[in-house]
Amino acid sequence: MSDSLFRLPDVGEGLTEAEIVSWRVAAGDTIEVNQVIVEIETAKSLVELPSPFEGVVGELMVSEGMTVEVGTPIIRVTGSGASTGVGAGAGASPQQVVAEVTPVVSAEPAVSAEPAAPAEPEESAGAVLVGYGIKGHVTSRRRPRSASAPTAGTPASRAVAAPAAAAAAPSAPTPAATGAAPVATRPVGHSSPAVTGLPVIAKPPIRKLAKDLDVNLNEVTPTGLIGDITRDDVIRHASQAKVFHNIETPQWADEREERIPVKGVRKQIAKAMVSSAFTAPHVGLFVDVDASRTMEFVKRLKDSADFVGVRVSPLLILAKAIIWAVRRNPMVNSAWTDTEIIVRNYVNLGIAAATPRGLLVPNVKEAQSMTLRELAIALENLTLTAREGRTSPADMANGTITITNIGVFGMDTGTPILNPGEVAIVALGTIKQKPWVVDGEVRPRFVTTLGASFDHRVVDGDVASRFLADVAAIVEEPALLLD
């Protein structure tokens, strides 16, 4: 029997501190290797930390809401032992802990020097550090679970389907994990649990997403292979505009003032915006665009067999338009330094995403090499990851140009602040019918306003104007993308 201390690891890009958001275990709980024990918030994202030890929780050394530095002991585990391939003892450094734990639990990081290890199915849904989605099968590197039942109500109580059983026949998670009836009795993709009377089958990340989006899972129609509710099901049930609109007017709070500590993601946002606003001289341009043909094109894509199951929106066309316009006006895809201007001949396309935890700007890597369908899938994955708070520092690093879609909130246009390290950002306003002159006649057309900000140290007025005109030309006539 021995005691081991788990120290707060550096979960990415040299971050020096993190806030303890919520503990998933309590003193006296029995835990296993790779079981999620705590949720932390860094300056970049929300992260779930898995345990490198198995044993009994002796003490939670840091309270929820506290911000601690990397390397600080946060939990003591009694009678602990590490699984083969993890081996993080009491004296392990934060770098050793994260180096040994991350390969076991992380799911497809956005940028990696080597191919990522395949992620695990059901269990890894609660154990991923960062990234989007769960792919692949259980690998041989995974330590087999013991025969003893885990403590009820803890994350370890979720069952893991064996690969052999999964290959032999479709099966549902065990009743201990979800309380669900056998899969054979559940109609898939036809009726919601509220109609069928069957329990909800949804992984923990999906349940958290539904909570953030204020979605009642009992009202969601499942389309998963085992009758489970997927991310797409939740998103379809609640549009982004609905999530962030003020749906109701609350009563005044009893307290005269509320004081919110500036930390985590909000602190990082403030630092980045002040740096950008007072470093880069911003210049703004605006143009009204007839987007009727874009709306028709989006409708045709939705009806196309090639885009079945893929989310298509005008944002996709704007993204493709920006990539095309960047190729014609490469200076808008640059970076300014004190000694040189770096013109980047690739596009890491950033998407400003409003999330329950604040503004995040993840980017699609190498977007210039993607087909329209690949870009649509990448944008959807990026957005879902951001909404779940699982965007990794790597996902937000090395952006070259950004889109902000304020149209989902009903806004016509705006003057966005540049993402630090970039020299251009484009805002897509709402698309709605307005009177528009066509061939000398006033007709109802779908009209939007494109706004853009540029760093005037790099981008001159003529370059900025040509770039925005090129983007507008594609929104007016998407067929130009075939050129």
Catalytic residues: 456
Tokens 């946002």 -> residue? 269
Cα gap 480→475, rounded to integer Å:
9
67 token code pair: 């911000």
Rg (CA), the chain: 24
Cα gap 399→110, rounded to integer Å:
12
SS3 label, residue 247: coil
Q: Which residue pairs, CB below 8 angstroms and at least 24 apart, start in 180-183? A: 180/227, 183/226, 183/227
Cα gap 159→123, rounded to integer Å:
7
Nearest to 320 by CA among 349, 292, 343: 349
Cα 88 to chain centroid distance, Å, stands at 29
CB atoms within 10 A of CB 221: 18
Render the burial of 56-86: b for 16+ CB within 10 Å, e for the rest: bbbebbbeeeebbebebebbbbbebebbeeb
Cα gap 354→212, rounded to integer Å:
12
CB atoms within 10 A of CB 171: 14
Cα gap 174→186, rounded to integer Å:
14
Do 178 and 229 meet the contact criterion of CB atoms below 8 Å apart?
A: no
Cα gap 427→452, rounded to integer Å:
6
Do 107 and 118 meet the contact criterion of CB atoms below 8 Å apart?
A: no
